[in-house]
Chains A and B, each alone.
Chain A
Amino acid sequence: ILNVEQSPQSLHVQEGDSTNFTCSFPSSNFYALHWYRWETAKSPEALFVMTLNGDEKKKGRISATLNTKEGYSYLYIKGSQPEDSATYLCALNRDDKIIFGKGTRLHILP
């Protein structure tokens, strides 16, 4: 069974603090890893698509790294803001399949 694990499931962070969370996946036959942000009552929004070991991508205060050999990706948020409150999903693309993790639910505390 191909599992994509995200941790933690839920996270409360004080506004202004930085945070990070993890996506773990089987490292064999890796093709691509996607990160999405899903705000309540909205559509999931693509953040990053990462394909190469050692990839680092950045969009504003959000960045992500990828380690395909050990099978994990980190998502970092610098200086959290209220609008960062959302569920962050990662999805593994492998063997022509796409498998989502359950997500990390991030709550930013004012």
Chain B
Amino acid sequence: GAVVSQHPSRVICKSGTSVKIECRSLDFQATTMFWYRQFPKQSLMLMATSNEGSKATYEQGVEKDKFLINHASLTLSTLTVTSAHPEDSSFYICSASLGGASYEQYFGPGTRLTVT
């Protein structure tokens, strides 16, 4: 199957700083990439959908100025958590797809963010 990498796998940062997470599709060109977060014992919650070269579509309740998404190429999307707070501590995971949400998604391994 298609491979998606995510970096870093784990990051600890201080309150007020920004953290960038990269999501790369290694062996295919992804039309669409998705960003999720997961709180303990909860389901994956879609944060935003991004298409290469256009602005991301954010889900209701997700602050676009806080979670900056850039999808500069068909193989790379980045999520930047700006001015991080402890409540942003979570597991963030990306996926990539050859089409929209109805297509099979290929997931990265996720990033564990801890904000102190």
Contact A32 B106, CB 8 Å, known A100-B43, A100-B44? no
Contact A102 B42, CB 8 Å, known A43-B4, A43-B109? yes
Contact call B1/A45, Cβ cutoff below 8 A:
yes
Counting chain A CB atoms within 10 Å of each CB, the highest count among B1, B4, B59, B101 belongs to B101
Any chain A CB within 8 A of the CB of B104? yes
How many Å from the CB of A39 to the closest CB on chain B?
A: 11
Q: Binding site of B, secondary structure by majority: helix, strand, loop or mixed?
A: loop
Contact call B101/A46, Cβ cutoff below 8 A:
no
Residues of B near A34 (CB, < 8 A) are: 104-105
Residues 37-65 of B contacting A (Cβ, < 8 Å): 41-46, 59
CA distance A75 to B103 in the complex (A): 19
- Number of B interface residues in the complex (CB < 8 A): 24
* Contact indicator per residue, chain A 87-104, by CB within 8 Å of chain B (1) or not (0): 001010100111111110
Contact A89 B4, CB 8 Å, known A96-B100, A98-B101? no
- Number of A interface residues in the complex (CB < 8 A): 24
* Contact indicator per residue, chain B 75-116, by CB within 8 Å of chain A (1) or not (0): 000000000000000000101000011111111111000000
CA distance A89 to B36 in the complex (A): 14
Any chain B CB within 8 A of the CB of A76? no
CA distance A54 to B34 in the complex (A): 29
* Contact indicator per residue, chain A 48-69, by CB within 8 Å of chain B (1) or not (0): 0101000000000000000000
CA distance A35 to B1 in the complex (A): 15
Closest 9 CB pairs of A and B: A43-B107, A100-B44, A44-B107, A100-B43, A98-B101, A46-B104, A102-B43, A32-B102, A43-B109
* A-B contacts, 13 listed (Cβ < 8 Å): A4-B43, A34-B105, A43-B106, A44-B93, A44-B107, A45-B1, A49-B102, A89-B43, A96-B100, A98-B46, A98-B101, A99-B46, A100-B44
